[in-house]
């Protein structure tokens, strides 16, 4: 039974805040994970410039992951325990990858020159491990944590396609933030990542309604069925615009260098909105709704007061950091 009053809307507020945190993490940390994966083996100067492009941002971007998981733990503790039960191994691998990234980022700037390449590979490997783990977790979530060969095969496909999505948005970031040969190289990476991302979105769009009668009904027989068509249409338009721009790149005076990154953001936001609509009000697909999983109303009020202070502070310093370091990337130096 769906509750009424504050017992109804408080869990809705918290699932919205949690969704916002995970979306911002996917976009912001997504591009710097993608940049890490794309580090080339043949040009140290390009690796240096790529690292410099994410240097002021990458650590702060992970704040959104901490916030999202924290909200899940505090606002929906029973869902947190069920999700972690099914995803314990990929979560552990993801954390290992993120730790490796942090260590490699600092060490590469301080070790003797002949050891620098090793830490570049460690940064690349940590980025790849984190993205593959996140994609695998998403695939299992979409399949309702089903333990079957088909579910795990889909999760593996999701791991590859989420990694491609991060590479796409990371390459889009490089197109926007760099110049010269690295920028042209990033445009080629972005186009490959774009079509692999599109493959992943298409796969989820087909599998999701086929594996859940509830999702099928929400998309194809509900009162908003025609309106919902705008999501795939706008997503396809963003793919088309990005592909045509990248196919003709470069342009004079760096015209439209922001287009691939903005297109990637649009695709991420629409894909996330589609997933959210598909599974709402479940926080554990087919098993646990947000109201069943929510903490006591008094606890949610207490957490909400804290969120009203913490969230604006995170948003402010994020916007401030991007404002300060706006424009083309310059070489990262330590004093």
Q: What CA–CA distance (Å, rounded) separates 76 from 283?
A: 8
Q: What CA–CA distance (Å, rounded) separates 325 from 269?
A: 24
pLDDT band at 2 (very low <50, low <70, confident <90, very high): low
* CATH number, domain containing residue 77: 1.20.1630
Q: What is the pLDDT of residue 122?
A: 93
Q: What is the pLDDT of residue 226?
A: 76
Mean pLDDT, to the nearest integer, of 227-253?
90
Is 330 inside any structural domain?
no
Cα dihedral 51→53→56→59 (10° resolution): -50
Is 121 inside any structural domain?
yes
Is 129 inside any structural domain?
yes
Is 329 inside any structural domain?
no
Instruction: Give the relative orientation of helices 259-279 and 180-211 as an angle to the nearest 10 degrees.
Output: 20
Domain that holds residue 200: 21-324
- How does pLDDT run across 19-56, given as a tens digit for each residue? 999 999 999 999 999 999 999 988 888 888 999 888 88
Return the H-helix or E-strand segment holding 264.
helix 259-279
Is 8 inside any structural domain?
no
SS3 of residue 67 by DSSP: helix
CB neighbours of 277 closer than 8 A, spacing ≥ 6? 218, 228
- How does pLDDT run across 196-222, given as a tens digit for each residue? 899 888 888 887 777 777 778 778 776
> How many separate domains does the chain show?
1
Is 11 inside any structural domain?
no
Is 1 inside any structural domain?
no
pLDDT band at 154 (very low <50, low <70, confident <90, very high): confident
Q: What is the pLDDT of residue 275?
A: 87
Asked if residue 333 has pLDDT above 70, the reply is no
Helix, strand, coil content of the chain in percent (nearest 5): 80, 0, 20
Backbone phi, then psi, for 148, in 5-degree steps?
-140, 160
Is 2 inside any structural domain?
no
Return the H-helix or E-strand segment holding 288.
strand 288-289
**pTM, to two decimals:** 0.90
CB burial string 182-212: b at 16+ within 10 A, e below: bbebbbebbbebbebbbebbebbbebbbebb
Cα dihedral 254→258→259→260 (10° resolution): 110
- How does pLDDT run across 246-261, given as a tens digit for each residue? 999 888 888 989 999 9
Q: Is the peptide bond before 173 cis (omega within 30 degrees of 0)?
A: no
What's the number of CA atoms in the CB half-sphere (13 Å) around residue 92?
5
Strand-pairing partners, residue 288, are 284
């Amino acid at each position: 039974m769906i509750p009424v009053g504050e017992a109804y809307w408080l869990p809705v507020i918290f699932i919205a805040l949690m969704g916002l945190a995970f979306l911002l993490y996917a976009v912001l940390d997504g591009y710097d994970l993608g940049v890490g994966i794309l580090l080339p083996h043949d040009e140290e100067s390009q690796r240096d410039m790529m690292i410099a492009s994410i240097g002021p941002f990458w650590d702060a971007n992970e704040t959104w992951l901490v916030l999202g998981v924290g909200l899940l733990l505090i606002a929906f503790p029973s869902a947190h325990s069920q999700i972690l039960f099914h995803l314990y191994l990929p979560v552990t691998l993801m954390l290992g990858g993120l730790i490796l990234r942090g260590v490699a980022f600092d060490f590469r700037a301080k070790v003797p020159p002949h050891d620098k390449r090793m830490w570049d590979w460690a940064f690349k490997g940590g980025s790849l491990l984190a993205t593959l783990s996140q994609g695998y977790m998403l695939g299992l979530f979409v399949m309702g944590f089903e333990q079957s060969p088909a579910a795990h095969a889909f999760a593996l496909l999701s791991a590859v396609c989420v990694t491609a999505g991060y590479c796409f948005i990371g390459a889009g970031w490089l197109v926007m933030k760099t110049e010269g040969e690295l920028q042209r190289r990033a445009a080629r990476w972005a186009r490959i990542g774009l079509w692999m991302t599109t493959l992943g979105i298409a796969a989820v769009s087909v599998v999701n309604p086929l594996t859940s009668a509830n999702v099928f009904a929400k998309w194809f027989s509900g009162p908003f069925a025609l309106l919902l068509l705008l999501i795939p249409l706008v997503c396809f338009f963003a793919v088309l615009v990005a592909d045509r721009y990248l196919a003709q790149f470069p342009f004079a005076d760096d015209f439209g260098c922001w287009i691939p990154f903005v297109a990637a953001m649009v695709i991420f936001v629409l894909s996330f909105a589609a997933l959210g609509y598909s599974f709402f009000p479940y926080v554990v697909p087919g098993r646990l709704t947000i109201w069943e999983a929510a903490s006591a109303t008094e606890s949610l009020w207490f957490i909400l007061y804290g969120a009203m202070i913490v969230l604006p502070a995170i948003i402010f310093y994020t916007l401030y950091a991007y404002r300060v370091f706006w424009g083309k990337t310059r070489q990262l130096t330590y004093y």
